[in-house]
Amino acid sequence: MRNEILHGYLIHHRKYRERSHIVHLFTQEHGRIDGILRQTPPPQYQPICLQASGKSELKNFSKLEIVNQPVFFFGDAFFSGFYLNEVILRLCPAEVEMPQTFVLYHQTLQQLQLLAQQENPNLFLRQILRQFEHALLEELGYALDFTIDAQQHDIQAAQHYLFQLNDGFIPTAQQSRATLTGEQILSMRDYEKGRDFNREQLQLLAQLYRQMISSLLGDRPLKSRQLWIQNTQSQS
């Protein structure tokens, strides 16, 4: 890579030596890419343009430009932005283009700026976060087939299922908070990409995607989720 122009966002940075920073970017051209920036890092959530050079895992970044005006998030929008960046940093492989996820990331940041104007902010927030997770997990190779179970049999509406990341939907006679009904699972059959999820689909995806993302993260939980819960509890 030699003086390649990249477009994207800063998702994390830390101090490196006296005047430099190690920065992690999410870019349109190469997905997540890491490097050294010898200037003050840009604000998060703002589109940036810069040059990248180098063959090692850490590129050299230069000629950084901030494309738009500053973006400031507060409350749930702040924690949501933190969540998006942390999930990208933790789950996205380095230098693997993820065009669908990039588009949804950009779109979600724009929608978060409108959160306070919504008639039902909680529902709006759940909608845009599930849409982002849907694109991310699909592009990571974890797209789900909502029509068949782990034994390659058709999902039955009256049956209960347990979900496991590496196996899929496993039929079970036991009912618990962890089980899903076949009717819930089948509600995703008619989903068309780009449309909003209905309430049944949102309920299903909230349960599934939290489990999937937690499994992919391993033993290190998300700091953004922990802080979000603490903030919610402190306000109640």
Q: In CATH terms, are 4-66 and 76-144+188-235 the same topology?
A: no
Can you give the pLDDT at residue 114? 95
Pick 76-144+188-235's CATH classification: 1.20.1440.120, 1.10.1530.10, 3.40.50.300, 3.40.50.2300: 1.20.1440.120
pLDDT at 7 over 80: yes
Amino acid letter, residue 54: G
Q: How many Cβ atoms sit within 10 Å of the Cβ of residue 37?
A: 22
Q: What is the homologous superfamily of the domain 4-66 according to CATH? A: Nucleic acid-binding proteins (2.40.50.140)
For residue 229, CA distances in Å to 21, 83, 113, 202, 232 come to 30, 12, 21, 20, 5
| Interval 219-232 mean pLDDT | 81
pLDDT in tens, 179-188: 999 999 999 9
pLDDT in tens, 149-172: 999 999 999 999 999 998 999 999
As a three-state string, the secondary structure of the chain is CCCEEEEEEEEEEEEECCCEEEEEEEECCCEEEEEEECCCCCCCCCCEEEEEECCCCEEEEEEEEECCCCCCCCCHHHHHHHHHHHHHHHHCCECCCCHHHHHHHHHHHHHHCCHHHCCCHHHHHHHHHHHHHHHHHHHCCCCCCCCECCCCCECCCCCEEEEECCCEEEEECCCCCCCEEHHHHHCCCCCCCCCCCCHHHHHHHHHHHHHHHHHHHCCCCCHHHHHHHHHHHHHC
236: confidence class by pLDDT, cuts 50, 70, 90? low
Structural domain spans, the chain = 4-66, 76-144+188-235
